[in-house]
Amino acid sequence: MTVSPERGRSLIDNLGGHEIAVIGDLMLDEYLWGSVDRISPEAPVPVVNVSGESSTPGGAANVAGNIKGLGDRPLLIGVVGNDNSADVMDWLLREQGISTEGLLHDPHRPTTVKTRIIAHSQQVVRADRETKEDISPELENQAMAYLEGHKKSLGGVIISDYGKGVITKTLLERLICFCLNEDIFVAVDPKDVNFPRYRKVSLITPNHHEAGFAYGLRIVDEVTLRSVGEGLLKRLEAESILITRGDKGMALFQADQEVKLIPTVAKTVYDVTGAGDTVISSFVSAMAAGATLEEATIISNQAAGIVVGEVGTATITKEVLREAFLGGGQGEDEKV
């Protein structure tokens, strides 16, 4: 699949201006940056001399950041605690120009925080502070009420499921039912525990490990890839499934069509953190701009190739995507 320069320019120019809801697990990504020049005498572990630190919104908030970077208006819905990390999240989102009206506060749970220690562009260790308990029915109702209040302006809905308790069984059913009834494109970044419940959605974007686990067959070659993709598509009655395959690119499955295999365009892979967020956000943004499923796949593949070349959770922008998409190859081996 390829997209002509003229069509590609038109699609990129049409990105933005749409309201896209992102609902799911919010998390704060913290980074400690430094260097290593010795091993600890206390244990066989490296001693990191910290030279700096930073924080960025992660999880569903990173998806919203990508949506914002592409020029769309993210409607972010998620749950945080009543703690300092929630205040930092609120401030960071506002700095990006993302509304925090959809952030629901639960005094009984902490804001999810992932702290990564980075030395010489490599992650040394990660520490997580979180709870995975389901949110309350009251918070589910608040989330749905906020979403339904914007139904007339929505160009798409992204369910960002990290298995941290926001996307409960009940909420997931209500979200999918809402999108089907309102004829809204709904995409899911899945978690294995909920996989059987992602029925009749527009798009699911598992990586090859998640897809293989969900279907019960490890993906080791193109034969098993096709079995898993086609099997999940039929089992879930989904419109499409996009399986990301790391350095092997992506595979798009649609009902009654041949699988589309797309090689990666990444030149160097430093960090895959947030790559899945970029894939689903750029895909839905492209669909809102009038792209076909195949064209949206090509655009999201290009976006993913950009962010994996950066260290830490990264977001894509419309300008960077335009330059990369129109200035180089698309990584495709088959014409649309």
- Whole-angstrom CA distances from 90 to 40, 82, 97, 206, 330 are 37, 11, 11, 29, 36
How far is 143 from 175, CA to CA, in rounded Å? 10
Q: How far apart are CA 49 and CA 37, in angstroms?
A: 8
Q: 105 forms bridges with which residues in the sheet?
A: 80
Tell me the sheet residues that pair with 39: 46
CB 104 within 8 A of CB 80: yes
Strand partners, 129: 113
Catalytic residue among 25, 134, 277, 333: 277
Distance of alpha carbon 107 from alpha carbon 105, whole angstroms: 6
- CA distances in angstroms from 58 to 29, 32, 35, 145, 211, listed in the order given: 5, 15, 24, 24, 23
Amino acid symbol at 133: E
Separation between Cα atoms, residue 295 and residue 233, nearest integer Å? 19
Active site residue 277: yes
Report whether 239 contacts 202 (CB < 8 A): yes
The vertex-108 CA angle with 102 and 112, nearest 5°, equals 60
Sign of the CA dihedral 300, 306, 312, 315? negative
Contact 281, 63 (CB under 8 A): yes
R_g over Cα of the chain: 20
CA distance linking residue 125 with residue 132, whole number of Å: 21
Kindly list the catalytic residues. Answer: 277
